[in-house]
C-alpha cells in the first residue's frame, strides 16, 4: 500500500509500505495491503510503519518534533500527538499534528 504522512508544515513520508499500525481512539489497529476502506481519528501514540527497505524512506525532520527511528526489522516508528487517517484503494493518508 502507499502511505503519505502529512503535517501542516510538510509531507513527512511518502512511500510504498508493507503494513501500518496506528493508535486509533478505540485502540491500536493494523492495516495490510487490500484492507477495507477506513477513516479514523488518531490519538497520541506511535505509528509503526513496516517498510520494504531503508531505500524507500523519504523523511523530513521538523524542528526536532518528529524523530524517526528504524530498527533492524525495517520498522519505522513516528510519535504523533493526534491526527486522522484515511485508507482507500490501497492508499493511506495520515494528517498528523
pLDDT at 57: 46
Confidence at residue 64, expressed as pLDDT on a 0 to 100 scale:
52
Contacts of 27 (CB under 8 A, 6+ apart): none
- Ranges under pLDDT 70 in the chain: 53-73
- Say what the pLDDT of residue 56 is: 44
Structural domain span for residue 56: 2-96
* Residue 19, domain CATH: 2.60.15.10
Based on the structure, what is the number of domains in the chain? 1
Q: For residue range 55-80, what is the model confidence (pLDDT) as tens digits?
A: 544 444 445 555 455 555 678 888 89
The string of DSSP letters for 31-79 reads EETTPPPEEEEE-SEEEEEEES-GGG------TTSS--EE-TT-EEEEE
Dist. CA 88–CA 82, nearest whole Å? 20
Q: What's the pLDDT at 65?
A: 54
**Kind and range of the H or E run holding 55:** none
Q: Give the cell for residue 46.
A: 506511535
Amino acid at each position: 500500500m502507499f502511505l503519505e504522512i502529512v503535517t501542516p508544515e510538510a509531507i513527512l513520508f511518502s512511500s510504498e509500505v508493507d503494513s501500518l499500525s496506528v493508535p486509533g481512539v478505540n485502540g491500536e489497529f493494523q492495516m495490510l495491503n487490500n484492507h477495507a476502506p477506513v477513516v479514523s481519528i488518531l490519538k497520541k501514540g506511535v505509528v509503526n510503519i513496516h517498510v520494504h527497505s531503508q531505500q524507500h524512506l523519504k523523511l523530513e525532520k521538523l524542528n526536532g518534533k518528529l524523530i524517526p527511528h528504524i530498527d533492524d526489522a525495517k520498522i519505522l516508528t513516528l510519535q504523533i500527538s493526534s491526527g486522522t487517517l484515511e485508507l482507500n484503494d490501497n492508499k493511506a493518508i495520515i494528517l498528523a499534528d
